[in-house]
Structure 1
Amino acid sequence: MSVLPILGGPPVSRVFHGERVLTGDELAAEARHAARLLPRGSRIALTGDDALARLCWFLGADLAGSAALLVEPSWADRERRAVLADARPDASVEVRRLAGSARPVEPVGDESTPFYLPTTSGSSGRPRVLIRSRGSWLRSFALLDLGLRADDRVLVPGPLTSSLFLFGALHALHAGAEVQLLDRWSAAEAARACRTATVVHLVPAMLSALLSAVERDPALRAACRLRTVVCAGSRVDPALAERLASLLPGCALVEYYGSAEQSLVAVRTGGALRPVVEVRIDDTGTLWARSDLGVDGHLVDGRVVPPEERDGWTTVGDRGVLHPDGTLEVLGRPASAIDSGAKIVGAEEVEAALRGVDGVLDVLVSATPHPRFGALVTALVEALPGEPPALAALRARAREALEPGKRPHRWLVTERLPRTASGKPARALVAEHLREGTLDAVEMS
């Protein structure tokens, strides 16, 4: 059986994708076939939306010592052109299913070899192309201990173009667990997949939608096998954690904080968030991390620009608090703050307060420009078609949980929040639509 470098050995577990199932041997064979079709030691752009084909080609590129860029189908033409101009791939491949190959392939490179060209999520602007070594993720795998067993099946319910979901899939295969892939996020499909999956990776908004789907169907709730939910991307508010514990007693919640640039920074397994690398908070409240898990830099016109750092310390701009007991609290980025009537409002705080209201699948708080106040705090609520939450209930929760200056002055409802590939609400896009008056949403009354 072939060694696949980013897995640290040969794959031993099955991968499920719709009706298709690959054993570890078959996965390695398809990766070998892909590796023979790719130039060695190069940069490869992989297009297409078949999750299993993407995984096989990605593993094949790594086997060939090539760094892979997974092109996101939802990128606008402008974004796609900009990303490819920065990545300057040596080849672009439309992924397809392959016949396996029995011929051996000698792995190229070592832990310092670039294997992945992740992009920033685009939630706050144009995606940026990063460059990452194998070793950075292999070391990250070791720091996220989920206690995975060979009989676990890990559900990866979002596109592998998101580093969050790609990390979840490779982490599971590295640990010897089975993987179940969905091409794209669907709360209904994810709920059905939880009849066989024991672990799932997602962002808090997806967890909320998944729980809603399970709540509506007693049969799915009874059949749900989840024992661990792994959340990243943003903080899980207490109301959502309590909802999970009530609906699925005994299901553990594991949160981790990190970024595409820094990889893993802190993990919460019950109790509080605890750093797994060196962390400090500067005089401005900005959170910095230092480790050997981060990217090697980012690409501009094909040239590697080293990461911005101070004696090895890097930041993505998040604010935080490091408590005397060593626990970490992440407060989010100033970019999500709203200046309304000389009051600075943190969007994440308002969102956390509103997510527990009945009928709310998710909520994004942004700003509507206003000539007198500068901006109106605006809540964009995601709800099921024809089942919006009561505006009175939303206002009551805001009065209960938020001081007056932080309460939304404008309430909108939509059936689908604009999202990034990772499933996080697309803040920059919503803010742009609010500025231009083009948001696809209905005023609540």
Structure 2
Amino acid sequence: MQQLLVGEIFRQCARAVPERMAVAVRDERLSFAELDERSERAADWLLRHCRPGDRVAMWTETCVDAAVLFAATSKAGLAFCPLSPAATDDEMVGALAVIEPAVIVTNRGRRAAAGSLVAPFGATVVDWESLAAHDRDSGTPVTAPGFADDIPQLMVFTSGTTGVPKAAMVSHRAQFLRTHPGAQFEPRGRSVCVYPLFHVAPWLIALQQWHARDGVIFTTDTNPDTIADAVADHAATRLNMIPALWRRMIEYLDGEDRAISPLATLRFADTGTSATPLSLLQAIRGLVVGANVRVFYGSTEAGNVCGLEDQDIDAKPGSVGVPSVSTDVRLDETGELLVRSPLLFDGYFNNPSATEAAISSGWYRTGDLAEIDDEGYLYIVGRVTELIRSGGEAVAPAEVENVLRAAPGVTDVAVVGIPDLSWGELVCAVVVAEPGHTPELADLQSFCDGRISSFKHPRKLVLVDNIPRTQTTGQPQRPLIVDLVTSEQADPG
């Protein structure tokens, strides 16, 4: 069987399109020839300091060197382990204890701190400048000890619902299949990537681009002006953002007076990771006229599970689409979505109990509650761990939120369960009202009639100025919201 090795992609691109831009961050750019040459030198250095299968941690802000290290570890048969530059010392120690890296790569400003953090693990610390200055003995491609495509190419941390960090291992083969143009939607033109580099998403977006021999632009922040300028400066044709960032972009451009939209070159406007109401998708269409608006659903562990095409958005509101090629889905008796696919991760590093809990007989348990309609379209209705138990019934907060988000006078909403002696938990709607509107509980309950079962209707309403959401995915921070609702500071609705 042919080995699907990620490192070969960079060599092929350097031979086919050496001068084409491969990656850019701010004003710094690397062509495919430069990316290949620099990653060959870095791979040579790594092979002198690592053993086959070792982990290489990256602790740095967004920069083009990150792409160099990604390519270098791929060529050397080492696992690429990006860490959050905003991690606290305790978080770093916890992550390093999990992966036990042989090397940690950082910038000079972090080198001393990195040395202190990795001292207990015996890891070697190297900065970008030293890695770039390494002089190879020859110009021939680096020859790594033979390795198969089932070894980890990428390790990304995910805490799930426990808060305990777990390093999800994604093999060369899975990475290759997740991003191959023949298996996904082929990129044509450059893509702007807004996601932090310690997540799986930026490397899927980038690798899909590199598979298609085209470039990716990493932004250093998620401000709408930064993103819009990146699209315009590079005439990018593809942009993938979470719903919260699309909302901010719409608000930003509504206040701009430009003859030509900075997003005019986009041909694909993608979103996902959380519930995406039809009204937002239609607003994105209005923002990027002529582009295909698409919704994707997936995870670090499962890759891209399914997608909703532009032509299906109006007919299947709220859906995340149909399963990807070679992906099987089913629901267990509780409604949890299970996925089986060659795109699946290989488990959590050195954590067999967590791996066993996540994968059973080849099926990955997503933790998401879902519904599948008669035509095979998938709908995510909530999280297993977020279920509200009210009066003996189970209520998925996201399902209620999807309904209330369309209610008159509602700008934003989160639904949580709050303790109640009679019901166990009450379904509570936490709402940001439109200016000049004051929604009433009875109005929201009436709006829910005929849309969701009566036991899912909110029984309490709290009005707030804003809803706490995670910075990365825009998901409601439910524990914080529950504290807000139950505290003395919350205003009764």
1:34 aligns with 2:42: yes
Alpha-carbon deviations, 1:187-206, whole Å to 9, x = none? 23112223232211222222
Q: Which residue of 2 is the match for residue 166 of structure 1? A: 203
Is the Cα contact below 8 Å between 1:85 and 1:301 reproduced in 2?
no
1:366-377 matches, cutoff 5 A: 366-367=416-417, 369=419, 374-375=425-426, 377=428
- Tell me how large the CA RMSD over aligned residues is: 3.6
Matched residue, 1:384: none
Residue of structure 2 equivalent to 1:282 = 332
| Alpha-carbon contact 2:243-2:274 (below 8 Å) kept | yes
Which residue of structure 2 lines up, in the alignment, with residue 409 of structure 1?
Answer: 461
Say whether the 8 Å CA contact 2:401–2:413 is kept in structure 1: yes
**What corresponds to 2:13 in structure 1?**
10
Runs of 5+ consecutive residues of structure 1 not aligned to the other structure = 382-387
In structure 2, the residue matched to 1:213 is 252
| CA-CA distance at 1:114 after TM superposition | 1.1
Amino acid at match of 1:32: E
Q: Does 1:46 align with 2:38?
A: no
- Given that 1:282 and 1:288 are in contact with CA atoms closer than 8 Å, whether structure 2 keeps it comes out as yes
Structure 2 counterparts to residues 202-351 of structure 1, below 5 A:
202-219=241-258, 222-224=261-263, 225-270=265-310, 271=312, 273-276=321-324, 277-300=327-350, 305=355, 308-339=358-389, 344-351=394-401
Could you say which residue in structure 2 is the equivalent of 1:113? 151
Give the secondary-structure state (helix, strand or coil) at the position aligned to 1:180.
Answer: strand
User: What is the distance in 2 between the residues matched to 1:74 and 1:372?
Assistant: 43
Return the index of the structure with the highest Cα Rg: 2
Runs of at least 5 residues in structure 2 that lack an aligned partner in the other structure: 108-127
Q: Percent of aligned pairs with the same residue?
A: 23
> Cα offset for 1:8?
8.0
> Match of 2:213?
176
TM (norm. structure 1) is 0.83
Most deviating of 337-346 and 355-364: 355-364
1:101-145 superposed Cα distances (whole Å, 9 cap, x missing partner): 783323553321211111226577333211110110111123653
After TM superposition, the structure 1 = structure 2 runs for residues 391-430 of structure 1, keeping only pairs within 5 Å, are 392=437, 398=444, 401-403=447-449, 405-406=457-458, 409-414=461-466, 417-420=468-471, 422-425=472-475, 427=477, 430=480
Within a 5 Å distance, the mapping from 1:349-368 to structure 2 comes to 349-353=399-403, 355=405, 363-367=413-417
Distance 1:410 1:435, change over 3 A: closer
CA contact (8 A) 1:391 1:444 kept: no
Q: 1:435 to 1:209 in 2, by over 3 A?
A: same
**Contact 2:58 2:82 (C-alpha < 8 Å) held by counterparts:** yes
How many residues of Structure 1 are paired with residues of Structure 2 in the alignment? 432
Cα deviation per residue 1:399-435 (whole Å; 9 max; x = unaligned)? 5743572376112223x84425x43326356357548
Distance 1:105 1:354, change over 3 A: farther
Query: Is the counterpart of residue 390 in structure 1 residue 439 in structure 2?
Result: no
Q: CA deviation at 1:168?
A: 1.1
- The structure with higher relative contact order (CA 8 Å, sep 6+) is 1
The answer to which of 201-210 and 321-330 deviates more is 321-330
Relative to the length of structure 2, the TM-score reads 0.76
User: Partners of 1:144 and 1:398 in 2: how far apart?
Assistant: 43
Any conservation in 1 of the 2:168–2:349 contact (CA below 8 Å)?
yes
- Say whether the 8 Å CA contact 1:169–1:179 is kept in structure 2: yes
Q: Is the 8 A contact 1:357 1:394 kept in 2?
A: no
